[in-house]
Amino acid sequence: MKQHQQEEEETQNIVIFLNCFIPLDGKLQLCHLTVKDGIFENINVLFNNNKTNDDLEAGYDGNRDESRIDPPSFGTLSKTTQQQNDDSNTYHVTTFECAGNILCPGFIDIQINGAFGVDFSNPHLTPQQVLSVATQLPQYGVTHFCPTLVSSFADTYKILIHDILTPLCQLDQSQPPTNRSTVLGVHAEGPFFAPSKRGAHRMDCIKDQIQQHSIVTTYGLEDIKDVDYFYEECGIKIVTLAPELPGVEQYETIQTLKKHGIVVSMGHTNATLQEGIQAVQNGACLITHLFNAMRPFHHREPGLLGLLSMYPPSSQEQDKVNKRDRPPHELFYSIIADGLHSHPTTIQMAYNLSQNVILVTDGIAAMGLHDGEHSLGEEDVIVLNGKATIRGTDTLAGSVASMDSCIRSFQKFTNCSVYEAIKAATENPANVLGLGKELGMIKVGRRADFVILDQELKVRRTIIAGNVVYENN
């Protein structure tokens, strides 16, 4: 019996993915990829005899040239079992033909309010409902996500953050799941907003002032004495707030959040450019859903949009231009590329200013469902023709667009490379969360969480820790 168990423990699973385009070094490159026991083991960049090295090094720019490769059709070629000569290890080897499709890191959604009928801001939320969403998100290529809470009351925050979501975050951190998406941490979107920019958030939940202690009391722990313990154990990964609110003049709150590894994002705000500069210099590193629920651009007061011009792609010339005001760290901005929240030309303009874009769905419970009546926190939502609005108003209430559809739309709106579109849903969100050394890129030694996309950037397979958790043939 012991001998049989030992043989099982020494069995190693190897999957070889042939002829796949992988985002590497700023472009998509044709490769063979080997995954061993759920870890990327080897990446072999190929050169095709039918094309010159220069042509292949140009990478895939979105206009696929089918003559570059001539493999069999997409699918599993073979499954074999090989016995090593010394009889000490058994290898189960599967060879998979990608047929020139794209193999990229799993998508990371840092702003999703719910999906598949589950509203993360519902005070009656259960762990099983969150896990249900985590199990279904891979169909959109999402392997990691931040459950997002809209502005709520303190007792609701206490239930959702401390009783439901934080334990799940801690569980996934200690034991990363192999059959579903990972819960990275809570995105607390609110309630510290400019009332005039609250969007779909309930007015009676909005707080228009902020002090150090109000963060702790607002998110549901009124009697806590050890503030450091709260920040370290609360499970919050991102806080979206309006930096111009009274009480933030000295920006101590932003500094404290940053000190404890919590991403500070500016959103639902009437902040001026100067107020945005001060916030970034004190630690804010993200703008939540650019253009939506923020001060509009004006030629004499650009607002937060002006920050993007301070963060063009790194170059010595640009560094000289803005050296005086350049913040000490990178600034990212998220955007909802569903064609409803922002006009395609507007998205293109933002991308021309800065490529530090992060695609988010801002998905609500109606994602993955049909049009009809749904909810967002305490608000009733109507979804009609894919557009979600607060009942009886024209106010947008999140989105029902999936992450893979946002990638396709973003690539179309901006005419950027496929590599850059994928980066906006993988590498960039990983970096803003401080997880760039673990997530967001295909690298040897990292866990094999990835997606196979077809030529139209639609999801064909989602693999988590080397396991196929979704497939569409």
Q: Catalytic positions, please?
A: 362
Cα-Cα-Cα-Cα torsion 367, 368, 370, 376, nearest 10 degrees, comes to -20
Peptide bond into 313 cis (omega under 30): no
Q: Which long-range contacts (CB under 8 A, 24 or more apart) does 91-94 make?
A: 91/11, 91/12, 91/13, 91/14, 92/11, 92/12, 92/13, 92/14, 93/14, 93/15, 93/16, 94/13, 94/14, 94/15, 94/16
Of 111, 274, 252, 269, the closest CA to residue 192 belongs to 269
Alpha helices (runs of H) in 181-308, residue ranges in sequence order: 212-218, 227-233, 252-259, 273-281, 305-308
Q: What separation in angstroms does the CA of 428 have from each of 119, 356, 394, 422, 440? A: 26, 7, 32, 9, 7
Report DSSP state, residue 350. H
Q: Which residues pair with 450 in a beta bridge?
A: 105, 463
Evaluate whether 27 touches 419 at the Cβ level (below 8 Å): yes
Alpha helices (runs of H) in 105-151, residue ranges in sequence order: 127-136
Structure tokens belonging to residue 395: 């106010």
Separation of alpha carbons 272 and 297, rounded Å: 10
| Entry field: residues in the chain | 473
Cα-Cα-Cα-Cα torsion 257, 283, 171, 224, nearest 10 degrees, comes to 0
Q: Write phi, then psi, for 300 (nearest 5 degrees).
A: -100, -15
